[in-house]
Amino acid sequence: MTNSVRTRFAPSPTGYPHVGNIRTALFAWLFARHYEGSFIVRIEDTDVTRKVKGAVEAILDSLRWLGLDWDEGPYFQSERLEIYHKAAKRLVSQGDAYYCYCSPQRLKEMRAEQVKHKQPPGYDRHCRDLSQEERAQKEAEGVIPVVRFKTPLEGQTGFNDLIWGDVVFDNSTIDDFILLKSDGYPTYHLANVVDDHLMGITHVLRAEEWLSSTPRHLLLYQALGFKPPQFAHLPMLLGAGRAKLSKRHGAVSITEYREQGYLPEAMVNFLALLGWSRDDRTEVLSRQELIDNFSLERVSRTAAIFNRDKLNWMNGVYIRSLALEDFTQRALPFLNKGLPLEVERPLPMEYVRQIMPLIQERARTLAEVPELAQFLFVDELDYAPSLLIAKNMSQVSTVKALELAKQRLEQLEVFDAESLEAMLRPLAVELGLKTGQLFGTLRVAVTGQIAAPPLFQTMAVLGKERCLRRIEVALAKL
């Protein structure tokens, strides 16, 4: 298939792109890149009533953020109306489509009747066989018609989906769907088929929800004399507990993940595994490994579950794999924004570089960095004094431990992690404490937290002066 594959991402700008949309884009992109083909972006903006301002920019912005580069486009269907009009006219003149003059009122009544008689929805073909005169009269009345497809009343339409295998629909279940609306815009079906043909799309990868539209598309391809592309309908995405994916599960706009401190490379890896897998084990795959290994054979039919814990875990893996300077640069905007205002800006970069290794080990998202690093910047720590008293210790033994630790720290000349450890371990023995007790107390005194990065490294970056001051404050609290 080398060089001939052409896929596309064809979003409708009816909202901000969510996880599902971008997963579709990613799969189409991976497929194109795997076969060294082309990836095309086409904006399907033919539903004027549902257009959302800023959606197009958000879509393109998301693709750029994730590095899903495209070779052609973005094409806008709203700029190609002429093309769809021509196609619709051609279908009418060859007898495969017709003008329909039914008023919204009539359609509404028809629908109500269908509901009443428990009939399936669909146009009742009222205008399918209007005579020349009847049409002329409607035109004279100034009714603006829509164009409908003349769906064959019998027979079947089937195809071989690259994921679902053979799929067959009875034509009798397909109504005479609209091709051209009265506002002059084409419907999705018409514009989609015409463009996939004109843009030379070889493989349509799209969400499962479009599977049932495909027979209509195939009928259109046939009527227009176009060779249809191959179809691959991607499995549904569900949230935890197999519920419909909602905001709570992560159906938020994909750009929000950037704001929440997810790395694009982690996001790409995570999204790729929503319905595809390389094998039953491998979770972490680089962009290149994804491209090299991607295949539709390994796309599953079962719904993929969006698991935020897994995303957090994976993002942490990617964060820890970053070079320190890279991590620092990516975390910096979050630090600047998230640290309390009292921390002076610009932040002291030398110090920032010293603390970053400690934070990189623990952060799952960049947005967590300010919270994790806060104690390394602020003057006053806010914690409950009771936290200072470690398990099986009393206030008296805690005071004693902190006082002695303070004295010894004052005398320490080289204030690095090794020297601190060499001094503090024997001190625990001397005090008759377990190391966990002494270190626990010290940890709370110098960090204000029970869980923090490794104690000696943390004390070393904080520096002697700051550690001593914090121990004094702790003693005062006791």
- List active site positions: 247
**Shortest Cβ 21–ligand GLU spacing (Å):** 7
Question: Which x/- pattern over 136-175 shows residues binding ligand GLU (rule: CB under 6 A)?
Answer: ----------------------------------------
Of the residues 18, 206, 233, 470, which one makes contact with ligand GLU according to CB under 6 A: 206
**Shortest Cβ 18–ligand GLU spacing (Å):** 11
Query: Which residues 24-63 are close enough to bind ligand GLU by CB under 6 A?
Result: 44
User: Which residue's CB atom is positioned nearest to ligand GLU?
Assistant: 206
Token couple for 194 = 């015409």
Instruction: Please tell me whether residue 192 binds ligand GLU under the rule CB under 6 A.
Output: yes
**Is beta strand 230-234 parallel, antiparallel or unpaired with respect to 237-238?**
unpaired
Q: Which is nearer to ligand GLU, 236 or 359 (CB)?
A: 236
Q: Which is nearer to ligand GLU, 14 or 392 (CB)?
A: 14
Token pair 């700008």: residue = 13
How far is residue 402's CA from residue 422's CA, in Å, rounded to a whole number?
A: 17
- Name residue 279's amino acid: D
Residues in the interface with ligand GLU (CB under 6 A) total 8
Instruction: Please tell me whether residue 415 binds ligand GLU under the rule CB under 6 A.
Output: no
Instruction: Please tell me whether residue 461 binds ligand GLU under the rule CB under 6 A.
Output: no
By the 8 A CB rule, do 220 and 94 touch? no
Contacts 24+ apart (CB under 8 A), 63-69: 63/9, 63/22, 63/25, 65/254, 65/255, 65/258, 65/264, 66/22, 66/26, 66/254, 66/264, 66/267, 66/268, 67/264, 67/268, 67/287, 68/9, 68/25, 68/26, 68/29, 68/39, 69/39
Q: Which is nearer to ligand GLU, 10 or 88 (CB)?
A: 10
Query: Which residues 4-23 are close enough to bind ligand GLU by CB under 6 A?
Result: 10-12
Token couple for 9 = 């991402």
Of the residues 65, 76, 210, 415, which one makes contact with ligand GLU according to CB under 6 A: 210
Token pair 């609209």: residue = 178
**Shortest Cβ 89–ligand GLU spacing (Å):** 23
Q: Which is nearer to ligand GLU, 12 or 157 (CB)?
A: 12
DSSP string, 401-419: HHHHHHHHHHH-SS-SHHH
Q: Which is nearer to ligand GLU, 15 or 357 (CB)?
A: 15
Token couple for 472 = 């004094």
Interacting residues with ligand GLU (CB under 6 A)? 10-12, 44, 188, 192, 206, 210
